[in-house]
């Protein structure tokens, strides 16, 4: 009986698995197992080798001549085109270290980035990683070799939230560093100056990059459903505020929704694919949003 991988897609369950590679594989395999067909495909032109057919593969890539000889299904694999490079930008600022009791935002974002890396490299796309807070912490250039996944996963597994943030500065720096047109996927809670963030996002579009933005929040950062008097501490400045949550919940939610709506509107105007996610969302939904975007583009 086949393993029901989709039961592992709940963020809290996935978070209990040990090892970034195991967790990424569980998410990817569970996601693929839940599809009738794969909504993504490669971007390659030069034949490289065969591999055995797997559920979700595009049947157009089956080598029927090999099937006629062996009575087995094999897929043609191709070398990547040099004009497709993916850059995953991960916000590692202090606010990304927050959780209200479920999955830490940075952990959720890291696992989502790991899963996307796994999938992109599996289909021979080149993918790289950028971690940042108030500046670029680490830049791993895009590669398409299968062994590159271990470099990516090790770096993601070692990430810890830092003390400060300057999202816009990091975005502007990377927009200038990426010389060729590519795919930029950003994972951040966007807790910074919205005007400056929007400016950084538009910089990528000015450089003709395709941009996908995952706006990752904890559920309590959206509904402010804290049950009793509490002390709230700014993770980046250390400032504290004591309040009764129910007294300010309405205004907090209105401000949060206005902020998200502004970012979403600016993204639509600039043709940036914006996805608001809270950390209770199953990973397959976030993955599907990304892959559906790729299907529409190619």
CATH number at residue 153: 3.40.50.410
Tell me the Ramachandran region of residue 66: left when phi exceeds 0, alpha when psi lies from -120 to 50, beta otherwise.
Answer: alpha
Is 39 within the bounds of a domain? no
Same domain, 64 and 198: no
Is residue 94 within 8 Å of residue 165, measured between CB atoms? Answer: yes
Extract the tokens encoding 141: 């250039």
Residue-level pLDDT at 17 = 63
Domain boundary among 80, 108, 126: 80
pLDDT tens for 130-163 read 999 988 999 999 998 888 988 998 899 888 888 7
Integer Cα distance of 185 and 114 in angstroms: 12
As a whole number of angstroms, the distance between CA 235 and CA 257 comes to: 21
Residue 91, Cα to own-chain centre: how many angstroms? 11
Same domain? 133 vs 219: yes
Domain-located, residue 276 = yes
Dig out the tokens for 29 from the structure: 């395999």
| Residue 257 within a domain | yes
pLDDT given at position 297: 59
Distance of alpha carbon 197 from alpha carbon 191, whole angstroms = 9
- CA-to-CA distance for 152 and 147, rounded, in angstroms? 9
Reduced to 3 states, what is the DSSP secondary structure of residue 164? coil
What pLDDT sits at residue 76?
A: 64
Give me the pLDDT at residue 298, please.
55
Residue 69 lies in domain = 44-80
Distance CA 34, CA 32 (A): 5
Q: Are residues 188 and 260 in the same domain?
A: yes
Q: Specify whether 184 is located in the same domain as 72.
A: no
Interior angle at CA 73, CA 69 and CA 74, nearest 5: 95
**Total domains present in the chain:** 2
**CA–CA distance, 122 with 79 (Å, rounded to integer):** 12
The verdict on 184 and 76 lying in the same domain is no
Asked if 182 and 232 sit in the same domain, the reply is yes
Same domain, 55 and 151: no
The confidence score (pLDDT) of residue 211 equals 93
Both tokens of 260, joined, read 């998200």
* Pair 96, 62 in one domain: no
pTM of the predicted structure, to 2 decimals = 0.75
pLDDT, position 2: 43
Residue 3 lies in a domain: no
User: Is 27 a domain residue?
Assistant: no
**126 & 273 share domain:** yes
In a domain, 73, yes or no: yes
Q: Is residue 16 part of a domain?
A: no
Strands (E), 17-117: 44-52, 74-80, 85-91
Q: Do the domain assignments include residue 220?
A: yes
Backbone angles phi, psi at 211, to 5 degrees: -125, 130
Q: Give the integer Cα–Cα distance in Å for 55 and 36.
A: 9
Name the region of 217 (left: φ>0; alpha: ψ -120 to 50; beta: rest).
beta
73 and 120 in a single domain? The answer is no
N residues, the chain: 298
So what's the pLDDT on residue 163? 74
The ranges of the chain with pLDDT < 50 are 1-5, 8, 36-48, 79-83
Residue finishing a domain among 52, 80, 108? 80
Are residues 59 and 106 located together in one domain of the fold?
no
- Structure-block tokens of residue 82: 């040099």
Tally: H helices and E strands in the chain: 10, 10
- For residues 57 and 103, state if they share a domain: no
């Amino acid at each position: 009986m086949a393993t029901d991988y989709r039961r592992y897609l709940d963020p809290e369950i996935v978070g209990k698995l040990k090892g970034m590679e195991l967790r990424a594989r569980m998410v990817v395999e569970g996601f693929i197992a839940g599809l009738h067909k794969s909504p993504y495909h490669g971007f390659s032109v030069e034949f490289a080798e065969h591999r055995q057919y797997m559920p979700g593969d595009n049947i157009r890539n089956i080598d029927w001549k090999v099937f006629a000889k062996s009575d087995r299904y094999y897929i043609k694999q191709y070398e990547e085109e040099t004009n497709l490079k993916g850059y995953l930008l991960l916000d590692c600022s202090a606010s990304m270290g927050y959780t209200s009791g479920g999955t830490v935002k940075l952990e959720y974002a890291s696992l989502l980035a790991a899963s996307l890396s796994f999938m992109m490299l599996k289909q021979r796309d080149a993918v790289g990683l950028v971690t940042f807070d108030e500046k670029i912490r680490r830049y791993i250039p895009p590669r398409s070799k299968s062994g590159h996944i271990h470099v990516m996963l090790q770096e993601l597994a070692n990430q810890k939230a830092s003390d400060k943030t300057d999202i816009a500065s990091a975005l502007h720096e990377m927009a200038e560093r990426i010389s060729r047109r590519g795919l930029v996927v950003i994972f951040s809670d966007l807790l910074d100056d919205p005007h400056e963030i929007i400016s950084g996002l538009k910089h990528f579009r000015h450089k003709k990059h395709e941009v996908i933005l995952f706006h990752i929040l904890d559920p309590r950062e959206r509904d402010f459903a804290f049950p009793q008097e509490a002390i709230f501490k700014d993770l980046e400045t250390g400032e504290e505020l004591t309040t009764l949550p129910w007294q300010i919940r309405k205004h907090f939610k209105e401000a949060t929704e206005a902020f998200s709506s502004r970012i979403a509107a600016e993204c639509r105007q600039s043709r940036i694919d914006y996805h608001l996610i809270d950390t209770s969302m199953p990973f397959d939904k976030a993955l599907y949003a990304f892959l559906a975007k790729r299907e529409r583009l190619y």
